[in-house]
Structures are given as structure tokens and as C-alpha cells.
Structure 1
Amino acid sequence: MSDAVQRDALKRLAAEQAVTLIQSGMVVGLGVGSTAIFAIRRIAELLASGELRDIVGVPCALRVEEEAQRLGIPLTTLEEHSQVDLTIDGADEVDPQLNLIKGGGAALLREKIVAQSSRREVIVVDEAKLSPVLGTQWAIPVEVVRFGWGAQARWIASLGAEVALRRQPDGEPLTTDQGNYILDCNFGPIADLTTLATQLSLRTGIVDHGLFLGLATDLIVAGADGIRHIQRPAS
């Protein structure tokens, strides 16, 4: 078995472990990414078999909405259900305090809105995503409005980041579901996450950023030694 096939098998097992936390009648956030899609498929299987009933999903991206509809998962909105019982999502990088960098799939804005509305935010990753300090492996995606995006890029660079506009394979700028651009901002290992998150949040023209601090309640990790489930200590 190749490393890629083995990694996918572990991701699937971890995602299916996360799905065991779902109970009938729940409102479930449907996350984005290669690991989260395994969870969505498993939810659809359990609904089809009758093992889960009366589940409604809140998708974190248009492509997730389309896949959930294709699989027969009933969908809802945060206007209809302002409280999400449990969200299953992925992450690009996770530190020991369960802080995250997200946005590799260009859905960070919707993902954060759903995470903030969730009683339980379950993050599923393979062990390669674990990091001692956020920024060690991954740049921070920052979603910006298209007007004046270059000014935002220069300002973020002044904070010490290498900044690149995310582009599609044809070279055109990638646009999010909201029609915004993404700047990938490489700060290297970040010593003060809270200060940086605050600076980015306060800047006009920045819609949101990929630092998800204090939002994850559970981490399910797929690794060579199997599946680990880590929970954030109660505050």
C-alpha cells in the first residue's frame, strides 16, 4: 500500500470516528477538505440505512452544499438554526492548544462562521498537520475584498509576512464563494497568535483570516499508531 493510499485510509477512519459523535436530530456543520468529505459520505450512508434520522446539515462551502445534496443529506441555514450541535471539519495546521490554521480550501470565512455557531467543533486531521507552533508549516490565508487588495498585501507584509495572492491554475486570482481574494501570508512560527489575530481583524478591507483560536473542542488525529481523540480541557 502506497503512503498516499494509507494516509487516505487513515483519514477515512478518523472521519468515521468523528461521525460516531453525531446523534439523530442534530444540526451538523459540514466542513471542507479531503478529510471532511469522508465524514459527509459516512453521514449520508447512515441516513440512508436509517441508523441516523432527522439530521440537517449546514455546509461550509458551495461545493460542500452540492455534494451533500447529491448524497441526499437534508440541508439548512444558520437563519433557520442559529445553533449547530456539532461541526466536523479539517485543518491545515494544529498546535498543542488546538488552535488552528484553516483556509487552504478557500472557505475560511464560512468555516469560521459555522465554527462560532457550533456547540462542538470537531477537527479531523492526519498527524502531519500537527505542529508545535502555528506558522511552522503553513501560511495564514487572509480573505480580502478585491478593492484595494494590494494595499492589504503591503500592510500585511509590513507586519513581517511574505504575501502571495492565491491564484487558479490558469493564473487568474482565485475568488472565494463570497467573491473575495485570498492572500497567503507566511509569517513563519508565530509567537503571539492573539496579537496577530487582533491586528488582522481590525484592518478595514480584511474580511477574515485563517487563525481559528479557541474554537476547536475536539481533535481526531489519524496516524501510524491509529486514531487519537483529544479534547480541549474545560475552561
Structure 2
Amino acid sequence: MDERTRTEAKRRASESAVEAVSDGDVVGLGSGSTAEHAIRILGDRVDSGLDIVGVPTSFQAREVAIEVGIELTTLDETDGHIDVTIDGADQFVGADLIKGGGAAHAREKIVASATDELVIVVDETKRADVLDEPVPLEVLPDARTTAAAAVEELGGDPILRRAERKSGPVVTDNGNLLFDCDFGAIDDPTALATDLATLPAVVEHGLFPAFADVIHVGTTGGVDIVEP
């Protein structure tokens, strides 16, 4: 699937996914290129009279939402409740996800955990038989060395994520560093998620086991709706 075809597939998936949003909803606004399509489509619907408020999961999501005229709020202001969240994923198998390619998985997981329905939008390149993408791991800067050693003890290969257009590493919206941790094929995402969550100084990992309620998969011919 070339880049143009992927972009079209992402847009189709997003157009399908936003149908889950109703008037009066509090909507979690995901991060990344596919979620951006969904935010922009929601903005068009707001222009046409849809009444929603959004909870952004990143600086990027906030910027796009403001640009398209979506009113924003916070989890505190909604008493920790979100009706529906639309977000992307780097890979999925059933309801299990790997997220964090955009370095926003900590806030994405907080929002996803507070939502009644997590709607995932992806193109078909994100579908897999087993999770095997590197797992993003957000860690406190002072724990870079010890966190890497702990990941290695779990059988992973941690690579510090480097910025593409600046010297040094990627820094998250929370001011932390990121490792991309290759564990090969992940046969038990829930067990690995638990192991990673218990490591000292880990802020959050990119495994989202059994999180997705419905997945809209953009294909070359339309949209597959997967309900795990």
C-alpha cells in the first residue's frame, strides 16, 4: 500500500469512526496522522451544528482541535468521564494494541481508560496475527540506564528514540524520554504489560491489552469494522 493509498484508507476509516459520536458527547481526541483525520472531520461536523467537547491526548491533538473549532475541556472538568474516544494504533491483534509511535501513549491511555467506547482508526497495514512491533516505553530521564537494564532482563532490546530534526532524544509532552523496546513476537500482551508497568521510573508503556471496543480499518476498497 503506497502512501497515497494509505492516506485515503485512513480518511475512510476516520469518516466511518466519527459516526460513533453523538450530539452532546465528550470526545477523546487521539494523536497521530490517522486520528488527525478524525479530528478534522469532527470539526466539519461541528461547523454543521454538532455539539461536542473534546479532551485532547497531546499537544498535536489540541492544536488541530483548536484549528478546526472544537471546544476543549479536561478530565477534571468532565468528572473523569468521556463518552467516546477516537484514536489510532501502530498495530493491533483483536482488542490488543501497540501505541506510542507519536510519543503520546501515556496521555492516550489515561483518556482511553476513562472512556465508555474506544474507537480505533487504522489502515490495513496495522493489522497483524501477533503483536511484534517495538513497544514504546516512557521513562523518567534520570532512570534511562536502569530502565534499559530492566527491559533487557525481561528479554527486550531497548533503543532510545532519537529526534529527527534536533540533536538528542525525543522528549514527550510530559518531559520524559522514550525507549522503543523490541520483544519480538508478544504472545501474552497482558503479562508483558504488567511486567513493564512494575518497572521503577516507567511512566507508561505502549501496550494496550484488551482496550479496543471497535476498530475501523481503512482498506483499498472501503472500511472493515472489527468488533473484537
Compute the TM-score of the two structures, normalised by the length of structure 2. 0.96
Matched, 1:134 2:131: yes
SS at match of 2:85: strand
Q: What is the match of residue 182 of structure 1?
A: 178
Q: CA deviation at 1:224?
A: 2.4
Matched, 1:168 2:167: no
SS at match of 1:35: helix
Which of structure 1's runs of 4+ aligned residues deviate more than 4 A?
A: none
Aligned to 2:206, which of 206, 210, 224?
210
Q: Aligned partner of 1:107: which letter?
A: A
Q: What is the match of residue 25 of structure 2?
A: 26
Listed one character per residue, the Cα deviations across residues 152-183 of structure 1 (whole Å, up to 9, x for unaligned) are 01110121111100111233111101101010
SS at match of 1:120: strand
Q: CA deviation at 1:14?
A: 0.8
SS at match of 1:119: strand
Q: Which moved more, 1:190-199 or 1:104-113?
A: 190-199
Matched, 1:143 2:138: yes
SS at match of 1:20: helix
SS at match of 2:181: strand
CA distance in 2, matches of 1:200, 1:162: 13
CA distance in 2, matches of 1:197, 1:40: 29
Q: Aligned partner of 2:63: which letter?
A: E
CA distance in 2, matches of 1:205, 1:40: 33
CA distance in 1, matches of 2:63, 2:69: 10
Q: CA deviation at 1:27?
A: 0.2
Q: Aligned partner of 1:102: which letter?
A: K
Q: Aligned partner of 2:149: which letter?
A: R
Compute the TM-score of the two structures, normalised by the length of structure 1. 0.93
Q: Which moved more, 1:164-173 or 1:82-91?
A: 164-173
Q: What is the match of residue 44 of structure 1?
A: 43
Q: Which moved more, 1:86-95 or 1:155-164?
A: 155-164
Q: What is the match of residue 3 of structure 2?
A: 4
CA distance in 2, matches of 1:59, 1:119: 16
Q: What is the match of residue 231 of structure 1?
A: 227
CA distance in 1, matches of 2:131, 2:60: 27
Aligned to 2:92, which of 91, 94, 99?
94
CA distance in 2, matches of 1:225, 1:72: 31
Q: CA deviation at 1:225?
A: 3.4
CA distance in 1, matches of 2:62, 2:73: 10
CA distance in 2, matches of 1:106, 1:121: 19
8 A Cα contact 2:85 2:112, kept in partner: yes
Q: Aligned partner of 1:101: which letter?
A: I
Q: CA deviation at 1:9?
A: 1.0
Listed one character per residue, the Cα deviations across residues 62-95 of structure 1 (whole Å, up to 9, x for unaligned) are 1211121121100000001111000000000001
CA distance in 1, matches of 2:143, 2:200: 10
CA distance in 1, matches of 2:43, 2:119: 18
Number of matched pairs = 226
Q: CA deviation at 1:145?
A: 0.4
Matched, 1:62 2:32: no
Gaps of 5+ in 1: none
Q: What is the Cα-based RMSD across aligned positions, in Å?
A: 1.1
CA distance in 2, matches of 1:45, 1:64: 16
